[in-house]
Structure 1
Amino acid sequence: MWKRRMVETFAILTIGDGAIEVISPREHSRLWEAGPEAARKVARFFAENPGYMRALGAAQTGFGIWLALKQYEEV
């Protein structure tokens, strides 16, 4: 039971993060522009290319929904 709850919690977080990426890709990317230079470069890339961030967010949201629905299947 706890494993399913943890997976669903991860799915909820994934859906929310994906939605923010779709709604506000530049701002979301800039928020995470911190840490090692490699991580900052990735964040800058997505801030400069919001279409890619939106696509990633849509895929992430879809994955989160799929993952959440898997928790409701009969075992």
Structure 2
Amino acid sequence: MTAQDRSTALRRTAEMAALFMIGDGLLGLAQPRRHVDLWRSRSAAVDALVRPFAGKPGRRRLYGAVQLAAGLALAARLRPPR
């Protein structure tokens, strides 16, 4: 794999992370209760991620706004290889 291929792969991975953050942030803003309830789990590791937002839609909305802003900022920094 060439340096340019690695660079492209890294940019694509960052783009996927940005897409996830933007989408998850929007869902958290628009439907915080439904989104948190969907991700509640008997798996302790998964549930630990959403437990702080259970019953706190305002907190989930705030986190969604932060995710959305961070995802957009990340995506804005990505440039195609030259």
Structure 2 length normalisation: TM-score?
A: 0.77
Question: Where does residue 7 of structure 1 map in the other structure?
Answer: 14
Inter-partner Cα distance in structure 2 for 1:40 and 1:23: 21
Inter-partner Cα distance in structure 1 for 2:80 and 2:66: 22
Gaps of 5+ in 1: none
Shift of 1:44: 4.5
Give, as a single letter, the amino acid of the residue that structure 2 aligns with 1:57: G
Inter-partner Cα distance in structure 1 for 2:15 and 2:27: 19
The answer on whether the counterparts of 1:30 and 1:44 sit within 8 Å (CA) in structure 2 is no
Give, as a single letter, the amino acid of the residue that structure 2 aligns with 1:67: L
Inter-partner Cα distance in structure 2 for 1:73 and 1:55: 31
Inter-partner Cα distance in structure 1 for 2:39 and 2:48: 10
Gaps of 5+ in 2: 1-7
- Equivalent runs, 1:3-42 vs 2, <5 Å: 3-34=10-41, 35-36=43-44, 40=47
Question: Where does residue 74 of structure 2 map in the other structure?
Answer: 67
Structure 1 length normalisation: TM-score?
A: 0.84
- How many matched pairs? 74
